[in-house]
Amino acid sequence: MTSRILVMPGDGVGPEICREAVRVLDVLAHDHGLDIELDEALVGGAAVDSAGDPLPEDSLAAAREADAILFGAIGGPKWDSQPRDKRPESGLLRLRSELGLFANLRPAILYSQLAHASSLKKEIVAGLDIMIVRELTGGIYFGKPAGQGTTDAGRREAWNTMRYDEDEIVRIGRRAFEIARARGGRLCSVDKANVLDVSQLWRDVMNELATAYPDVELSHMYVDNAAMQLVRAPKQFDTIVTTNLFGDILSDTAAMLTGSIGMLPSASLDAAGCGMYEPVHGSAPDIAGQGVANPLATILSVAMMLRYTLERGDLADKVETAVGAVLDRGLRTRDIMDDETQVASTQEMGGAIVDMLR
Ligand code: NAD
Ligand code: IPM
Ligand code: MN
């Protein structure tokens, strides 16, 4: 059966990196029997410019129809002064929420060829393979009330609410326990239960769930310590489960362990495993349009799509192997360069992966 894939390139480097990921999908379709049909839709600032809305109706409708979405990145200084609901970021948040993509899987894996590019010492990161499971449709990103106003004394004020109900915690918790069970069998739940009521509920629910997963070792860590431990001794972690905001921050931290945020893919899944696949990084306005962005995070997101939605684990392995092989050849985009390697543009890197897959 033909799978419908919707490509949403977005802003900044989004279109540049998506172009390379689409070339990968094309070669898999052409040479390896992947049965797909591609469509494209506007999102983010590009959609604000052309339709006045960061997630126009027809883009959302196309996203609902698709079997999987490949998402580039959104945002940029051009749209930063728009009202909140017209900002590119709001389009992405609505998309995640409307599609029920509550489980965000963000693996941080160090390719051995890139140990030098990590900001940590080689022995601290060698062999790193952790999975951050981030709750994606709740918490302070979506809690009400949220807004800005003026106090009685005439001072400006603003507020957000960090809120979870137990069902939201149960569904992400179950997903995380299952992921941990299929990996190293250790799950670390990260919260701020020493201060926040919402974190105490989070911790209580994780403890209750643990009884159903006796083969998974559950531990808890406060988020401030977790941030420190990630840069002190990251290999102590196997699977991490945490809330929307903490997961956002910790996954960017984990990115640097792997050499560059340009290496980190992600999958955002709903209850049925349908999903959106996107690099962890943003639209990188500082390098957009220069053809230097690393497309590997997006290409590795295609591998996650193959594994989790298209059920072609064989092809996912091929893509990941191709990435390793291209790195072995010494090809590097600027963000992962060193003295002994050869600098490649976004397009050259994509082309090298495509050649490897032929
Ligand atoms: P960013 O991730 O875009 O960039 C941070 C740094 O990493 C920059 O120096 C950038 O050049 C570098 N970088 C990012 N991706 C790279 C790649 N593929 N190759 C090489 N270097 C790369 O984060 P930011 O600068 O904080 O945010 C820029 C914009 O992106 C903002 O509007 C923000 O809201 C948005 N954003 C979007 C997403 C998303 O679409 N999922 C994620 C994060 C940020
Ligand atoms: C991410 C981004 C988004 C988030 C923004 C752009 C809404 O930082 O995907 O990590 O905070 O979730
Ligand atoms: Mn982020």
Q: What is the pLDDT of residues 58-102, one digit of tens each?
A: 999 999 999 999 999 999 999 999 999 999 999 999 999 999 999
As beta bridge partners, residue 134 has 104, 242
CA distances from 344 to 76, 162, 193, 252, 291 (A): 25, 43, 46, 24, 9
3-state class of 81 per DSSP?
coil
Residue 90 lies in a domain: yes
* Residues 153 and 13 placed together within one structural domain of the fold: no
* Residues 117 and 243 placed together within one structural domain of the fold: yes
Is the pLDDT at 283 greater than 90? The verdict is yes
Residue 275 lies in a domain: no
Q: Taking ligand 3, which is a single-atom ion, which protein residues have CB atoms under 5 Å away? A: 248
Q: Identify the band that residue 347 occupies on the pLDDT scale cut at 50, 70 and 90.
A: very high
CB–CB of 172/190 below 8 Å?
A: no
Is the pLDDT at 295 greater than 90? The verdict is yes
- Rounded distance from Cα 91 to ligand 2 centre (Å): 11
Residue 341: predicted pLDDT: 82
Q: What is the pLDDT of residues 15-53, one digit of tens each?
A: 999 999 999 999 999 999 999 999 999 999 999 999 999
Compute and round to an integer the Cα radius of gyration of the chain: 20
* Residues 144 and 246 placed together within one structural domain of the fold: yes
Give the number of domains in the chain: 2
Phi first, then psi, for residue 7 (nearest 5°) are: -100, 125
Pocket of ligand 2 (CB under 6 A): 75, 89, 92-93, 248, 280, 282
What value of ipTM does the predicted structure carry? 0.98
Is 134 annotated to bind ligand? yes
Of the ranges 10-19, 43-52, 269-278, which one carries the lowest mean pLDDT score?
Answer: 269-278
Report the alpha-carbon distance of residue 257 to residue 120 in Å, rounded.
6
- Structural domain that includes position 181: 108-269
pTM for this predicted structure? 0.97
Q: Read off the tokens for 332.
A: 């590097």
